[in-house]
Structure 1
């Protein structure tokens, strides 16, 4: 019999000489703690205060902000376990939170894109589907998928499990690109027949959706480009470099999404008047221009209320 000492658990196991990618991802998560976590909590507070006059997609916004806040709260635990506790049980709980982030972000953003898509291209159908019960039912379904995926990721050991996430990212990325592209096409087509110019409010919505489309590409394109070619990388390179860097682009959306939402508000609670004016100066200038007809106002209002949380 040979006396052996159990090797202490380490998150860097197998990547001891290639820790740069993991540290990059952890740095992004730390950024989310200081900026994304307060922003998501503020979004939740705003949604609760506006619950008497909710917008159609507030259910999706609230779920997304709550899950991003939960992910941000787990980051200090991740650092403590990395350098202090080194507990495998804590690491399993952290893997569950990573599974939550992997699933809720893309799926709830896809739901928001669906809401915006129906509102712009099928306004009559959208007016018949405004009741919150439809969005609550869809949110429950998303949470069911999230729990199943996160639990499987926590347990581990499933062959080719990473391909599930890759398929999800490819599907949701394609869906969000198509939705936003069709919305931009519809808004661009709705020009004034006299002077061939877009109404200022529609131009504002067009620029907003275009900026959100750019953010979707920034957050998800690295994953779409890198992850499907897993078999072409050396296993250690993919696990130690490609995966952490790709996830970092996904994780930064926890800060980008709430900041975009807050930037679209006319007045942000708990901020000084000077900061509120800086955040909303562009919106106030646009709102002073010619109002839209009643039929168009509802569609643009819907875009404004559903778009901000899309980063992507």
Structure 2
């Protein structure tokens, strides 16, 4: 029997099975239960619940605003905007499904809705790491191989990568929804390790190359390189914050007891992954000074490390160009 991926993410599974389990739903006729088998680890479940609540309250409007800005600036879009737009759409979709999960738990108790929720978790598991990897690839080629980047600047190459990511996301999500595949949870562990390693190595190489590109005795980078440096640095911060916990915890599953891993380790790890649906758009919007749902003092603090260039280029300029 395969292990589930998150105790709270698996909120609506049959009794004795967590919500995000890959075991077929018809394997038992017991009623749904949120915390059955995890009563001693409520802290981890509440921790994950709190993070997912932020996705609903802050993440959904932030992602919709990101999409609106990208559409408004489409005539001056950067090459990475298509990946950012798809990422914002997927994160908004993930946030929308969270209240549906609550309704299904307390009102509907619908197996069909439960399958949709499982599909949503598959989308979140796959689309975020892959689209961020595409953004890193785009910036990596632009900075380290500018001639090649110029030859591959046409949007058709980004559309192809986007289509590949959507296909992989749908395949993974469908498999998670159906369940029953042996060792299926190891697919995500392998994916997150591979994408995390790639993104860290890629962004570190970009930052090193951009810093090295300064001329002797010069303190300022070229404006285009400054934009790339700033975007890469923000992505690197997101990667470390959101992906390091599951990367550090999940590969050591055998060192934990089954109950501790299922009910404590996984909810905590996935909580940091889930909150990326809020962190990603907030970091992007902070560079544009576009956070209308937060107090001005909070905006200044949040965007302090990204605001230097905005004072020169204006608040509506796309920093990912």
Q: TM-score band (shorter)?
A: 0.7 to 0.9
The question of 1:305 aligning with 2:320 is answered: yes
Q: How many Å apart are 1:286 and its aligned residue?
A: 4.3
Q: How many Å apart are 1:200 and its aligned residue?
A: 7.5
From 237, 256, 260, give the equivalent of 1:214: 237
The question of 1:46 aligning with 2:69 is answered: yes
Q: How many residues align?
A: 285
Q: How many Å apart are 1:82 and its aligned residue?
A: 2.8
| 1:61 counterpart residue number | 84
- Cα–Cα, structure 1 residues 126 and 13, in superposed 2: closer, same or farther, change >3 Å? same
Q: How many Å apart are 1:203 and its aligned residue?
A: 5.8
From 309, 315, 321, give the equivalent of 1:283: 309
- Cα–Cα, structure 1 residues 182 and 227, in superposed 2: closer, same or farther, change >3 Å? same
Deviates more, 1:103-112 or 1:142-151: 142-151
| 2:12 counterpart residue number | none
From 156, 162, 166, give the equivalent of 2:179: 156
Where structure 2 has 5 or more consecutive residues not aligned to the other structure, the ranges are: 1-28
| 1:15 counterpart residue number | 38
Judge conservation of contact 1:204–1:286 (CA < 8 Å) in 2. Answer: no
Where structure 1 has 5 or more consecutive residues not aligned to the other structure, the ranges are: 1-5, 289-300, 307-312
Q: How does 1:134-153 map to 2 (within 5 A)?
A: 134-153=157-176
Secondary structure of the 2:267 match is helix
From 239, 248, 255, give the equivalent of 2:271: 248
| 1:166 counterpart residue number | 189
Q: How does 1:188-227 map to 2 (within 5 A)?
A: 188-193=211-216, 195-199=217-221, 201=223, 206=229, 209-227=232-250
TM-score normalised to the size of structure 1?
0.83
Superposed CA deviations along residues 10-33 of structure 1, whole A, max 9, x for unmatched, are 233332443332222122111111
Q: For the residues of structure 2 that align with 1:85 and 1:19, how far apart are their CA atoms?
A: 24
Q: How many Å apart are 1:222 and its aligned residue?
A: 0.6
Larger Rg: 1
Judge conservation of contact 1:113–1:176 (CA < 8 Å) in 2. Answer: yes
Q: How many Å apart are 1:108 and its aligned residue?
A: 0.2
| 1:131 counterpart residue number | 154
C-alpha RMSD of matched pairs (Å): 2.7
TM-score normalised to the size of structure 2?
0.81
| 1:180 counterpart residue number | 203
